[in-house]
Amino acid sequence: MTLPTLIAKHQEKEWVTGFLRVYSLLNNAYRMAQQENGTFEDWAGITIDSTGSKPNRNTVSNGVFVYNTMIKPYLKVNQAFVDGDKISGDNECMADKVYTLNKETFDANNLSRKIPAVSLPSGECILFGTQYADFIVDVNGTKGPNILGKDLFLFSFDVIRPEAIRPGYIHRGWTDQAKYCDPTSSNGWIAGMSCGNWVLRYRNVDYLHLSVDEVKKMWNSNPYGSDW
């Protein structure tokens, strides 16, 4: 392989490693928080709609509550942009501009502004309580490329399995689909939203190099593993 290819492969491996590390840290912190506070619907400011065949989310989580209940007690951080019950200034760990997988601007509540956030000692930045996900993670902080599905991923509390955190948008079914991890099109929604589901299955970001048809075929043929 050429040097640029080797560099690109190394970068992709770092993205996957960061994704899996944060996924593990968030779930571990959440499990500890549950021992004292119960599952998220008891303390995250969320209302659940269970009138349909499956429960769904009516509201986004309160990022300050999530920080104080789950992150502050159980997760070692480098810097916190939350002070008590207030957001302490603009967070500095997320890039000013971030993008979707098809290179459109991604603006979830103005990510670089007054959103509860922490940076981790290993370099990741985690935002809490945005309109799209309970956690938006940039696995290398402000470093590029700052693209959803590359170094930027979404995680949410799961209304189907409320004891767990999963990749994706707050409404489970909407982003567990291959078409939302298509680099060529947003398919009427935000490109890159569902890519974390692939990373959790395959421990890689090969969807960046495969055709859309190949991604869909592999996506549908491989059920979630034991971590889901």
- Which phi and psi (to 5°) does residue 172 adopt? -55, -55
pTM passes above 0.95: no
State pLDDT tens for residues 132-167.
899 999 999 999 999 999 999 999 999 888 999 999
Cis peptide preceding 145, ω within 30 of 0: yes
Other beta carbons less than 10 A from residue 31's beta carbon: 14
* CA dist 221 → 110, 167, 192, 195, 202 (Å): 37, 19, 20, 16, 12
Q: Dihedral sign for Cα 178, 144, 203, 30, please.
A: negative
Dist CA 98 CA 205 (whole Å): 18
State pLDDT tens for residues 38-91.
999 999 988 888 766 778 888 889 999 999 999 999 999 999 998 767 677 677
**Collapsed DSSP state (helix, strand, coil) of residue 201:** helix
Which residues, in sequence order, are bridge partners of residue 105?
99
Of 103, 110, 197, residue with least CA distance to 146: 103
Angle at 109 between CA 106 and CA 115, to 5 degrees: 120
State pLDDT tens for residues 201-217.
999 999 999 998 999 89
